[in-house]
Chain A
Amino acid sequence: DQQVKQNSPSLSVQEGRISILNCDYTNSMFDYFLWYKKYPAEGPTFLISISSIKDKNEDGRFTVFLNKSAKHLSLHIVPSQPGDSAVYFCAASGTGANNLFFGTGTRLTVIP
């Protein structure tokens, strides 16, 4: 059973606009959440993370929001750039855990 879900397999956004990628999780023991970005023929690269003690974390153009009561997190990219076109994976982990649980990914296309 998929504990981390990304229900949108793809998203297209115009350059300069906001991209919003969504992720839902089912396990209330998860307390650390990450976003990874993946280009074709490359491994996933870490983008941004958030601990469950926070509801927002910002790093430049990237902001992750966490809504614990809804078990939902989102990644906002503002402004979106063509180089942001990639597959984005949401991942979650619990304290002391030795595994990251990944979503199925959302392919973002930023149109110039």
Chain B
Amino acid sequence: EAQVTQNPRYLITVTGKKLTVTCSQNMNHEYMSWYRQDPGLGLRQIYYSMNVEVTDKGDVPEGYKVSRKEKRNFPLILESPSPNQTSLYFCASSRVGGLSGNTIYFGEGSWLTVV
């Protein structure tokens, strides 16, 4: 079954404590991306990756890091989380070649609360 798997699904953490949200896909997709969903703002892209070792900033990259050492994994790193990073996070993947004409598959989401 085609899947994008995120962990953890729910996390409450404290300001400044580094955390990593993992993302893994089993579809051999080259493209992976992270989005955050906030009330009244829809989904906004944080970072994306076109392939292994190729990453780039999306619309709201501040406070986040990513890495793409393997094709299937794309972890999201919050080095020093702050309360404004409290959000619902989605990992997504797609075949390469731009998003026009390709379907993006999303993970189930990770609820992150920073206190």
Q: Which residues on A are within 8 Å of B, measured CB to CB? A: 2, 4, 6, 31-32, 34, 36, 41-46, 49, 51, 89, 91, 93-100, 102-105
**Given the contacts A98-B48, A102-B42, A46 and B104 also touching, CB distance less than 8 Å:** yes
How extensive is the interface on chain B, given as a class? 20 to 34
**Given the contacts A42-B108, A43-B107, A102-B43, A95 and B90 also touching, CB distance less than 8 Å:** no
Q: Of all chain A residues, which has the CB nearest B38?
A: A104
Q: In the bound complex, do residue A2 and residue B42 qualify as a contact, i.e. CB atoms below 8 Å apart? A: yes
* B44 / chain A contacts, CB cutoff of 8 Å: 102
Binds A, one of B13-21, B70-78, B79-87, B95-103: B95-103
* B43 / chain A contacts, CB cutoff of 8 Å: 44, 89, 91, 100, 102
Q: In the bound complex, do residue A98 and residue B31 qualify as a contact, i.e. CB atoms below 8 Å apart? A: yes
**Given the contacts A42-B108, A43-B90, A104 and B41 also touching, CB distance less than 8 Å:** yes
| Distance, CA A49 to CA B48, complexed state (A) | 22
* B100 / chain A contacts, CB cutoff of 8 Å: 31-32, 51, 93-97
**Given the contacts A42-B108, A104-B42, A99 and B101 also touching, CB distance less than 8 Å:** no
Q: In the bound complex, do residue A100 and residue B45 qualify as a contact, i.e. CB atoms below 8 Å apart? A: yes
Q: In the bound complex, do residue A103 and residue B106 qualify as a contact, i.e. CB atoms below 8 Å apart? A: no
Q: In the bound complex, do residue B101 and residue A44 qualify as a contact, i.e. CB atoms below 8 Å apart? A: no
Q: Nearest-CB distance from A73 to chain B (Å)?
A: 15
